[in-house]
Structure 1
């Protein structure tokens, strides 16, 4: 017989700086498959600002990247027990956001970046979030295929959404782009497509322009 047990779990995250409670915006940045929060945050260093708190949650599933030793990476989910992983991710991110917002008397703007696998996780999270999302950037990834159209459209009403795809991104195919366009249409969401010169990695100057665009 298969059963479920609920228990207290610890998760790790990184911050761009010590919270000063004067930040005007919070950027939640969800890393991709096989990455760790420490190194993903380093990629974002050029956009560090006293007015912007960057929060990089670390996915809670870990594995060796090659064989049985060496470098370790984390991922948001696999196909195994995916429903439980989705629920755990949402609870984790909700709890983390609530814990950070407690520090503020004036609530800052919330912006969300989802890179690669983190893009689908980001869309599942914001589609149920009560706190308004000012900007949603999906980089090298897209909206999750299992989102509820009405709920997602309602939650992202007023949000500025972007799909950033590199012209040399080896992960993104023409077929996946067409499926994503159809999904966005079905969800009733508006997302601006942004193209940059490069592969499956962040272009910080382009990212900064998208983040800075909506104050």
Structure 2
């Protein structure tokens, strides 16, 4: 019989730039399957460091990549999904409280970005914590099927949704298997997305990220 217990758990998150009186924009990002946040966050170095403060979250499960040397992380699998989502929500809440202390992170322009498996993570966090984001960037990943318009009823009129996909993505193609994901995003979030395509694969390129500011 399966049993569950609760205990204290320590997990890393990474930041780029300093949160100061000059900060105007806050980015919360979720990398994809097999990616570590400490490497993923480097892509945001194209932003103005005085104005942009970046947080990169990381999947709570780590594993060895196929080369058996490098390590990757994963947000969840089909096994124990509800437990994983519960732990992720607690992790996100703890990161926000620690990173912003007594400040409200929504006093800044908040941008959410998820790549690949991180798309579902950042979408669930936006819905669960009722984040009134300025921009949400969903980059080549599947949208959670359980989310609907009620989950995003808190959004202001100025919220923007951007969907990014490489023209040579190994997993998705807009004219084949990705349009249903885009339709679900629009239907659930209630915002017509801006579709951005680029010459590239299943990857986050600095020059494309910079164009999204």
* TM-score normalised by the chain length of structure 2: 0.89
Distance 1:105 1:35, change over 3 A: closer
Matched, 1:205 2:204: no
Q: Deviations over 1:165-203 (max 9, x none)?
A: 111111114443132133235425222211111111113
Question: Cα offset for 1:76?
Answer: 0.6
Structure-1 residue corresponding to 2:115: 115
Unaligned runs of 5+ in 2: none
Structure-2 residue corresponding to 1:155: 154
Structure 1 SS opposite 2:136: strand
User: 8 Å contact 2:44–2:209 — kept in the other structure?
Assistant: no
Unaligned runs of 5+ in 1: none
Structure 2 SS opposite 1:127: helix
Matched, 1:27 2:35: no
Structure-2 residue corresponding to 1:81: 80
User: 8 Å contact 2:13–2:58 — kept in the other structure?
Assistant: yes
Distance 1:55 1:164, change over 3 A: same
Distance, in Å, in 2 between the alignment partners of 1:58 and 1:48 is 23
Question: Cα offset for 1:32?
Answer: 0.6
User: 8 Å contact 1:113–1:119 — kept in the other structure?
Assistant: yes
Alignment of 1:165-176 (within 5 A): 165-173=165-173, 174-176=175-177
Question: Cα offset for 1:91?
Answer: 1.8
Question: Cα offset for 1:131?
Answer: 3.8
Distance 1:48 1:15, change over 3 A: farther
Structure-2 residue corresponding to 1:98: 97
* TM-score normalised by the chain length of structure 1: 0.88
Distance, in Å, in 2 between the alignment partners of 1:195 and 1:101 is 34
Question: Cα offset for 1:157?
Answer: 4.2
Distance, in Å, in 1 between the alignment partners of 2:180 and 2:41 is 30
Distance, in Å, in 2 between the alignment partners of 1:10 and 1:178 is 38
User: 8 Å contact 2:24–2:108 — kept in the other structure?
Assistant: yes
Distance 1:14 1:193, change over 3 A: same
Distance, in Å, in 1 between the alignment partners of 2:130 and 2:21 is 21
Q: CA RMSD in A?
A: 2.0
